[in-house]
A and B are shown apart, each in its own frame.
Chain A
């Protein structure tokens, strides 16, 4: 049964929300979610790449020979990633400094390549756009939630605002790498508990 455009969009927000449901794109999820700012920045950058790559891949799907499709996808994705990188350098240099190597690494983010391969190359432009946007926004939401939990517990602040009283001693484990795994696991657990009801 073919899904409507709306359904294609909405599925990315819960049903197939990365990285919780599609456990993909874990590298940026774990590495950049130390602060909400980074999380949102990374999410939006990925969304932009996803949407553009999806549109272009679905447009070109008739032209690209199947044997070299992965190479072509990578070229398309890498182009948009470089665009994002340049834009970020030009307009949000500090975010660029914070995210560092993880922006170029969007190229190898499984979500982006995965959507191109699994969805965009087999669908028309409009559903691909909806799919890319949905998954991208879902990814942004996930990163924001994870980073909000980590930043608030790990530093006691969100976007520089003190959350708890001054007597709060930050649980700095949460901003360390192992804290990211535990946070992701617990959120996944909560999500499964909610949806199993």
Chain B
């Protein structure tokens, strides 16, 4: 290989390295800022490396032992839970590789209901979400109830309180004569079956007598 050719190869290598380097830096967000697995505290004595995982594993500390004073209801002061725990990612890096935000733990052990975090007044724009279907799709999944479910759980509470619009007592407002049966079949039997009480699907005769 002649010197010239060698030099050309070197230029190419340098260029490739630079491009790969820039791409790696540009494509990856700066991970060090948000929700670290460990926290590094600088002090005048010895610097301290705080490890989330060993504290939760070896000392059985929950997140709330250090974070969030739920008892004082952060709602007012704190913008909302979602401002930190973004909707794009339910990953909680502090929990380690693949650690997910766990709804069940939060509802069961910390006594939070969904609305403690969700459906909050947004002080930035001064509004609450206007359209239910901006978030709630036709069918729900593990984390987001479907449109109908969410209405039955969520919206109806306020409607009841203010006595305006569709309420529990008045299924007909929404589910017209024909639709009421559909509604019942789709919706109500689910709970009835789970509770093993009242009319269930397997027992058509319980309602639809000859």
A touches B (Cβ under 8 A): no
